[in-house]
Structure 1
């Protein structure tokens, strides 16, 4: 008699996840800005005992062009172990990879050969539009009852509202729109939750026309991009509360809730304050009835010679940090903040979430700074740390350098190229240092730009847990 056993990469608690074996490979979204050749998923060897450590060891082209692969995720994760999960025996096997420009969604199977994912299903834009009423799928999160795919645009040419489509864990069919009552929510970006408390949180960016050709200066200065968080009844799929951060705080993007399922707080990064070009980190707290949101970190702009700046920034004479990704370690101790504009990766101790303390920082590239990687000190770089991912045990941090094609071109008009870096973490007292043996770059990525990273077996931004 055989017994079904859960996938060994599903972890009941954050502590179990941190104690699991380290990742051996990492998956990167790679895209062709010209849309003249297919985008791809690149596979990196991240096993330091391997002869091919730090190199691209796998490559899967998509079957179409014009996708701009951006954020992607696993079909299933540790939330499958929740008591009410209807699919406890699914596997963390498939990568769900949306095309942000094409509205296609690809399903890639990693099981037979993790270094050679195979495209096994393609959902076209018409299915997403017909079944859920959305376009421009952006972020994928695996939940207990299905796959949550946030989308920026409406269907059939409609700018919005954006929202969340729910996909089946195993067939990957689009089940429909997640929201039953969206209240005043119109703009969309990320979605996360506190599973044990039946609370979901969403953030705001902009509609397709507001982002696809780059930042629209008039809209930014007119404070028209997103500036609010939305709180939802997760089970009833109903809007509960809108918290406006203030319209000067444009684009609250990545949401990072505490991994400890008994906690009801989380962090969101805000790209820019239009009054002084600073970026900021905010803390939300849910008390069982309502949410409060408090700014806990300010990151100032850096003065610069206007002649050294791209045209968009020359009138301001300063480099904005442009915080466009954050990540919270699985033990909820360190928050990592990518300041893509100034070329910094910042590490904060957030053990006391209301009072973060800066514990580490590194510089690599930046709009003006252009710091090199220590593995290639004479190599000019562009595009600062952008997407950031943390290993389950918190000892390794991976970063890549492209934000979004049109925005890359605005802030780095001489090109961003492509590179990925790994940093080692002092998990006792904090601090970051470059791994000089790990620096895939340039033609390693076959002329494509690289964006999000996912780690084999899960990472700090892929899983949610139901047991403390």
Structure 2
């Protein structure tokens, strides 16, 4: 008799996930801005007891050029243990890696040798367009019934609407578009959910022409980028409510719902206010039978000499924080906020989500500061903390420095370089400390820029749970 057992990296509740063993490897998306050589998935050793700690120990080139790897994710995760999940026997084994520019989707097998993952399938842009009507795939999340893939563009690169495609857990075929009734939703970016409450949430960025060649000042000042989040009936795939943050709050991007499935709140980061260049964090929460959003964190712009600023910012005489990623620890206690413009990673205690308290800060890079890493104090850094990933136990935070090729070039015109840092967390009192032993950078990434990181066995932003 065949006996199916769950993947040991799946945990039914966030409380149990926090006790998971520490990751030994990290997978990093690296891309070639010139599109003249293949992008890659880079494998880093994250075991402090290993002689290769903090070094590149694996490298997988993709089969084409011009993909621009961005966000990627696992094929399966702890949501497979939800009571209604049809695939409790799937493994967290494959990385689903979209190319944001090419609209190709790569399936990469991390077995049998996790240090040498292999490309086993490539889904072409024509299949995504034909079956789902989308292009420019952006964010991957594994759900109990399939793989959810947000996309910014319509079929064949059309301006939209963007939305969500669903891939099969086992064959990785594109099933189709997720939305049965999209209502007023047009712009797309991130997607997340409250699984046990049948609620799905999406956010907004822009259409392909609005983002692919860099930020367009006229569109930004004209308040044309996204400025709303959307709530959906997850089971019926139907739009329920659009909540506008106000058109001065441009680009509400990353969504981070509470991991505790009994909670009805989450955080969204807003890149910039066109009124004062500040960035902000908003909390979505229940308001009777409807949803509401409340601004809970304001991060002001920092005055700067125009001579030190890129052309886009010279007229303003200030550096915007540019909150481009956020992440929430699995125990829902600490929220991490990447300020890519000012070169800062902030930590907030959000035990009371309506009243966050800042508990930590680390500066690395920044448009003006160029703060060095303590392991290389003479090397001024470009870029800043951008993509942030938190270990399941909440004790380690990984940050990489590239945002998106064309946007890198606008804000860091002298080059953004490539680096990835690890920060150790004081989980009792709060606070962050850079690990001087872990700082892969420069030539270690062979001229490629680095974006998102995924941790072997799972991380804070890739799992959702059905039990408290």
Find the aligned partners of 2:331 and 2:461 in 1 and give their Cα distance.
12
Where structure 1 has 5 or more consecutive residues not aligned to the other structure, the ranges are none
2:385 aligns with 385
Task: Give, in whole Å, the separation in 1 of the partners of 2:289 and 2:129.
Answer: 34
- Between the aligned partners of 1:288 and 1:125, the Cα distance in structure 2 is 42
Q: Is the 2:328–2:335 contact (alpha carbons within 8 Å) kept by the matching residues of 1? A: yes
* SS of alignment partner, residue 315 of structure 2: coil
Work out whether 1:222 is the aligned partner of 2:222.
yes
Aligned to 1:322: 322
Q: Tell me which residue corresponds to 1:170.
A: 170
Quick one: distance in 2 between partners of 1:124 and 1:289? 42
Q: Distance in 1 between matches of 2:41 and 2:347?
A: 28
3-state DSSP of counterpart to 2:79: helix
Equivalence map 1:170-249=2 (5 Å): 170-249=170-249
In structure 2, the residue matched to 1:368 is: 368
| Structure 2 equivalent of residue 401 of structure 1 | 401
Alignment of 1:78-157 (within 5 A): 78-157=78-157
- Match of 2:425? 425
Alpha-carbon distance, 1:374 to partner: 0.1
Task: Report Cα offsets for 1:163-182 as digits up to 9, x if no partner.
Answer: 00000001000000000000
Whether the aligned pair in 1 keeps the contact of 2:134 and 2:157 (CA below 8 Å) is no
Offset at residue 286 of structure 1 (A): 2.9
Instruction: Using the TM superposition, give the Cα deviation of residue 211 of structure 1 relative to its aligned residue in structure 2, in angstroms.
Output: 0.2
Shift of 1:290: 1.4
The 3-state SS of whatever aligns with 2:64 is coil
Cα deviation for residue 381 of structure 1 reads 1.2
Could you say what secondary structure the match of 1:166 adopts? strand
Q: CA–CA distance in 1 between the matches of 2:62 and 2:70?
A: 13
Cα distance in 2 for residues equivalent to 1:263 and 1:142: 20
Deviation of the 1:244 alpha carbon:
0.2
**For 2:466 and 2:263, how far apart are their aligned partners in 1?**
11
Q: How does 1:285-324 map to 2 (within 5 A)?
A: 285-286=285-286, 289-324=289-324
Paired with 2:10 and 2:322, the residues of 1 have a C-alpha distance of 34
Q: CA separation in 2, counterparts of 1:279 and 1:252?
A: 10
Partner of 1:50: 50
- CA deviation digits over 1:33-72, x for unaligned, max 9? 0000000000000000100000000000000000000000
Tell me how far apart the structure 2 counterparts of residues 116 and 401 of structure 1 sit (CA, whole Å).
24
Moved more, 411-420 or 279-288: 279-288
Question: Which sections of structure 2, spanning at least 5 residues, go unmatched?
Answer: none
SS at match of 1:122: strand
**In 2, Cα distance between equivalents of 1:216 and 1:331:** 38
Residues 74 and 94 of structure 2 are in contact (CA less than 8 Å); yes or no, is this contact kept in structure 1?
yes
Q: Structure 1 residue 289: deviation in Å?
A: 2.8
Computed over aligned residues only, the root mean square deviation of the Cα atoms, in angstroms, reads 0.7
2:240 is paired with a residue whose SS is strand
In 2, the alpha carbon distance for the partners of 1:208 and 1:158 equals 8
1:326 is paired with a residue of what secondary structure? strand
In the alignment, what sits opposite 2:282?
Answer: 282
How big is the shift at 1:2? 4.5
Cα deviation, residue 288, structure 1: 7.0
Q: Counterparts of 1:286 and 1:450 in 2: how far apart (Å)?
A: 37
Shift of 1:156: 2.5
- The one-character-per-residue Cα deviations of 1:346-369 (angstroms, maximum 9, x if unpaired) are 000000000000000010110001
CA-to-aligned-CA distance 1:292-333 (integer Å, 9 cap, x gap): 100000000000000000000000000000000000000000
Query: Is contact 1:264-1:287 (8 Å) kept?
Result: no
- Aligned mates of 1:43, 1:287 — CA distance in 2: 44
1:202-251 deviations in Å (ceiling 9; x for gaps): 00000000000000000000000000000000000000000000000000
Cα distance in 2 for residues equivalent to 1:423 and 1:286: 34
Instruction: Kindly tell me the number of residue pairs found equivalent between the two proteins.
Output: 468
User: What's the TM-score once normalised by structure 1's chain length?
Assistant: 0.99
1:460 aligns with 2:440: no
Q: Tell me the CA shift for residue 263 of structure 1.
A: 0.3
Q: Is the 8 A contact 1:330 1:394 kept in 2?
A: yes
CA distance in 2, matches of 1:434, 1:193: 32
Whether contact under 8 Å (2:392, 2:459) holds in the other structure is yes
Query: Whole-Å Cα distance in 2 between the matches of residues 452 and 133 of structure 1?
Result: 26
CA shift for structure 1 position 157: 3.7
What corresponds to 2:448 in structure 1? 448
Aligned residue number for residue 61 of structure 1: 61
Does 2:84 match 1:74? no
In the alignment, the residues of structure 2 paired with residue 300 and residue 307 of structure 1 have an alpha-carbon distance, to the nearest angstrom, of 20
Helix, strand or coil: the match of 2:38? coil
Q: Is the 8 A contact 2:350 2:357 kept in 1?
A: yes
- The answer as to whether partners of 2:157 and 2:208 remain within 8 angstroms in 1 is no
Q: What SS does the corresponding residue of 1:131 show, helix, strand or coil?
A: helix
